[in-house]
Amino acid sequence: MSNQQPVDNREEIKSQIVENEKIIHQLNSQLVRRTSEINIIQSISDEIINSLDLDKIFSRSMELLDSVFGFNHSMILLKKENEDALTVVASIGYDDKGIGAEVKFGQGTIGVVAKNKRILRMSGILSKRRYISKQSNNEDRKLPGLPNADSQIAIPLIVHQRLIGVYSVESEQINAYKAIDEIILNLVAKQIATAIDNAKAYETQRKLTEMYSRFVPMEIMKLVGYDSILQARLADQSEREVTILFVDIRNFTGISEKMSPEQNFQFLNSYLSFLAPTIINNKGFIDKYIGDAIMAIFPENPGDALSAGLEMRKKLDLFNKLHVEEDLEEIRIGIGIHTGKLMVGIIGFDNRMEGTVIGDSVNTASRIEGLTKEYNCCILASESTVTGCDNKEKFNFKFMDEVQVKGKEQKIKVYSVS
């Protein structure tokens, strides 16, 4: 009895050592797995955080979570603007992708997560639903996702305490997710939320810039040497030789008196929509609208402005034809074109700035346009435009006069163009 005791002890110690080694081995392999998981999370983060393409952010994050962690049914929902509801924007692992399906706040796991802005891990959904269904006559709500999901984790996507969406994973298995899955998804969700927010901010910025460029011609910005409106500073300027075109409706005052203010606007917008494309089609841009007049700039060859003038006349014929059918008065226009040096720059004061062109040449072009009445012709161009024109053979020039333009010492030769 007495000498058996140490043997037992030895056996016990031996088995204890074996047991300990097993545990150490297990812990080591767990550590290796965790390290590789963390590396993968890091690489997902790097990839999606640097993307400004929403679709790419959605698809890459879901693919990686599927292949690495086995989250094979997942979907991303984004909050609708000014509404307590979400819409499915991307999904993986479903026969029917369900894009566009809606979930109201408070409905199902996803809706409850959105409402409470808290992660939720659910197990045994089916048996719990059966339990509740017994107490109710209501039909089960149709929500996007697996019809017989038994486990689900939904995570709120939050940026600066603002809910932007919900990420959901689900499984038909009963206890599919553990606490560690919650931690992994939480980490990834933070990155996805930031990436989505960045991409959205970028998109908004792009739209704003585009909208803004309708009010301030980007071409002016380019002439001053900017790539974006954001660079604009007061008093930035550059001197350029450009061709300026003024086009004005001759008898507009008479016509407009016969119309209501609303009809006036409709008439003007319709007229401008006929004429404006001729400018853009000939490498010019609209600097500003002055009532019924358009001031356009052609930064390249003076011939561009002449071509635009001729096209305008054709367009006007078409416009008049339509208007005569509607019993409206026919309109006549005058076009004045002049080439000269101009300052292109930003004027204004602090919160109201404008990109514009200034200089004598603008006045000259405007005065020449006024002369079309006197000489009873549609298009008048100054000598500098005619001589600077690269493709003279395309036009017929007729010398009209040498005129003293108001406010100018030198006389200017003007030609009618057809």
Q: Contact positions toward another protein, by CB under 8 A?
A: 106-109, 111-113, 116, 118, 120, 122-125, 127-129, 131-133, 135-136, 138-141, 143, 150, 174-175, 178
For 73, what's the count of Cα atoms within 13 Å in the CB-facing half-sphere?
21
- Distance between CA atoms of 259 and 257, rounded to whole angstroms? 6
Minimum gap (Å) between residue 214 Cβ and another protein: 45
340 beta partners = 242
Q: How far is the CB of 116 from another protein (least distance, A)?
A: 5
The CA distance from 408 to 418, in Å, is 27
CB of 192 to another protein, least distance (A): 21
**Nearest distance from residue 135's CB to another protein, in Å?**
7
C-alpha Rg value of the chain to the nearest Å: 36
Which residue's CB is nearer to another protein, number 138 or number 351? 138
Which residue lies nearer to another protein by CB, 86 or 305? 86
Please identify, using beta-carbon distances, which residue of 151 and 191 lies nearer to another protein.
Answer: 151
What's the order of all strands across the beta sheet hosting 151-159? 102-104, 85-92, 74-79, 162-171, 151-159, 120-122
Nearest CB to another protein, comparing residues 5 and 138: 138
Minimum distance, C-beta of residue 139 to another protein, in the bound complex (Å):
8
Q: Which is nearer to another protein, 2 or 138 (CB)?
A: 138
Q: Which is nearer to another protein, 13 or 174 (CB)?
A: 174
Backbone angles phi, psi at 330, to 5 degrees: -70, 145
CB 14 within 8 A of CB 22: no
Please count the other Cβ atoms lying within 10 Å of the Cβ belonging to residue 167. Answer: 29
Residue 82 CB, nearest distance to another protein (Å)? 22
Closest CA to 152 of 129, 186, 121: 121
Q: How many CA atoms lie within 13 A of 121 on its CB side?
A: 13
Residues counted in the chain: 418
Q: Report how far residue 318's alpha carbon sits from residue 320's, in angstroms, rounded to the nearest whole number.
A: 5
Q: Shortest Cβ distance from residue 36 to another protein (Å)?
A: 22
The most distant pair of C-alpha atoms in the chain lies apart, rounded to whole Å, by 138
Nearer to another protein among residue 98 and residue 359 (C-beta):
98
Residue 83 Cβ vs another protein, minimum distance, rounded to whole Å: 17
Closest CB 125 distance from another protein, rounded Å = 7
Backbone phi and psi for residue 412, each to the nearest 5 degrees, phi listed first: -125, 135
Tokens representing residue 226 in the block: 């900017």
The answer to whether 326 touches 371, Cβ cutoff 8 Å, is no
Return the structure tokens found at 341: 């040096």
Cα separation, 384 vs 414, in Å, equals 9
Residue 122 vs 371, nearer CB to another protein: 122
Minimum CB distance to another protein smaller for 125 or for 331 = 125
Q: Are strands 397-404 and 411-417 parallel, antiparallel or unpaired?
A: antiparallel
Judged by DSSP in three states, 167 sits in: strand
In the complex, minimum distance from the CB of residue 25 to another protein, in angstroms, rounded to a whole number: 18
Residue type, 197: D
Nearer to another protein, 175 or 281 (CB): 175
